[in-house]
Amino acid sequence: MTHARTLAALAAGLLLPVLASAQGANAKPDPQSPTADRLPIYEVDPTWPPTLPNDWILGDIRGLFVDERDHLWVIHMPSSLTPQEIGAAVKPPIADCCVPAPPVLELDPEGKVLRAWGGPGEGYTWYDQEHGIYIDHNGFVWTGTSNGMHVMKFTQDGKHVLTIGEPGVNKGSNDPDHLGGPANFYVEPKTNEVFIADGYINKRVVVYDAATGKYKRHWGAYGKRPDDTEKYKYPVDPANPPQQYSTLHGLVGSKDGLIYVSDRRGNRIQVFRQSGEFLMERFVRPQTGGSGSGFSLQFSRDPEQSLLYLVDGTNERVWILRRKDLAILDRFGKPGRQAGEFIRAHMLAIDSKSRLYIGEAGNGRRIQRWILKGTRPASSVMPPAQKEMPGFAHRAARGASSSAAGLNVTRSKNSVTDAIRPSSTRSHSTRGTAPAGVSVTKS
């Protein structure tokens, strides 16, 4: 990154007020939010969203984020649309409708478009395949790409501020300055560090200074150094878990300073401290093939963020887990094209009224909204994993035999892992100085 670009990034940072990052560490709690003790009852809202203006149509939904005003930010992939869908845009036109919407849109809670921008511009290289969107505590908009090598930061009006990585250049999972398929993001307000799930091509979490783009540290599965030469084996065997990521896709940061990631084709969630210290993992339907079960993550809006939601775009479910130990509590959704069903469920966002938004990719290409109709006691719900995989879930619930049960853990002073039995080896987060005394589960 050039010195001029660094100065531009720093100057732009002075122009924006500090905001509450709604899906981040400063998320506004909802007093009616579901909790680990009271699970949600969701009902799809078939009236939402309204028709887009200007004969616009959305392609694959590649990212969703709800800001502090409950505005939904969407990034989609216009290049996924077929000539039949955009008949008015092809040359020569074959129909009187429609045309691709701009890649980035801001919608109010009623679905009205407030802003729309994106695409090629001066001073930056736009993406072939857009992927991921995040609004940080300073109001900046972060975007990425599934098949490209860079991340870009913009103002909310679409002014380019910063590029991390180099378009078209990948140098592997251990290069500090180049990316490979950055999928999702989280910016920590206390340190202004951006955490990137650099996982479509690379196999890591990588951290940069969000103001300057300076490299800080990175790590792979279990907090170890990534190894791009290792080949992933299917189906996933929780008793002998893969030591590298397959497709690191989802990433969220909690209020208590933890990083949760989802390894899509690895069918698992892993949890880390922000230093890269590995804490625990959970396999979710590990026998899942295709694109896997570990798509995208989000927290419930209670003060403790006691629930973790996982979008599964192969089984077409939303899994509901207890955040403190990743126990699977419930799920909803099924494959299909009707309201409340999913085709390629891909991205997830939750607003301050616990309304849940699901974005579909592939042949889905739509956003659905779910309204919270109430809650029910968790004790009254039979966890779905117990119905489908009795031995797998039962062993995990009893805290026995970590990897065979689908749960690997370490001891932590943090409340999220206090109740979990420990085991240990070493973590190898790659940074200026590796963290000392980091222990992870044997595998």
pLDDT in tens, 114-154: 999 999 999 999 999 999 999 999 999 999 999 999 999 99
CA–CA distances in Å: residue 13 to residues 4, 159, 235: 14, 12, 46
pLDDT tier at 384, thresholds 50, 70, 90: confident
Range of weakest confidence among 84-88, 282-286, 385-389: 385-389
Range of weakest confidence among 40-54, 100-114, 187-201, 423-437: 423-437
pLDDT at 400 > cutoff 90: no
CB 218 within 8 A of CB 430: yes
Percent of the chain with pLDDT over 70: 81
Query: 344-367 burial string, b = 16+ CB within 10 Å, else e?
Result: bbbbbbbbbebbbbbbbbeebbbb
pLDDT tier at 220, thresholds 50, 70, 90: very high
Residue found by looking up tokens 């290289």 in the block: 125
3-state SS assignment for residue 6: helix
pLDDT at 404 > cutoff 50: no
Among the four given CATH numbers 3.30.1330.40, 2.40.170.20, 2.30.30.240, 2.120.10.30, the one describing domain 3-440: 2.120.10.30
Query: 166-191 burial string, b = 16+ CB within 10 Å, else e?
Result: bbeebeebbbeebbbbbbbbbbbbee
CB 124 within 8 A of CB 163: yes
pLDDT at 421 > cutoff 70: no
Structure tokens at 55: 């004969």
pLDDT of residue 98: 98
Q: Which of 66, 27, 63 is nearest to 355 (CA)?
A: 66
8-state DSSP, 122? T
pLDDT at 431 > cutoff 80: no
Structural domain spans, the chain: 3-440
pLDDT of residue 28: 83
Provide the residue count of the chain: 443
pLDDT at 5 > cutoff 50: no
Read off φ and ψ for residue 109, nearest 5 degrees.
-60, -20
> What are 255-307's pLDDT values in tens digits?
999 999 999 999 999 999 999 999 999 999 999 999 999 999 999 999 999 99
Question: How many beta carbons lie within 10 A of that of residue 261, not counting itself?
Answer: 28
Range of weakest confidence among 103-117, 200-214, 357-371, 376-390: 376-390
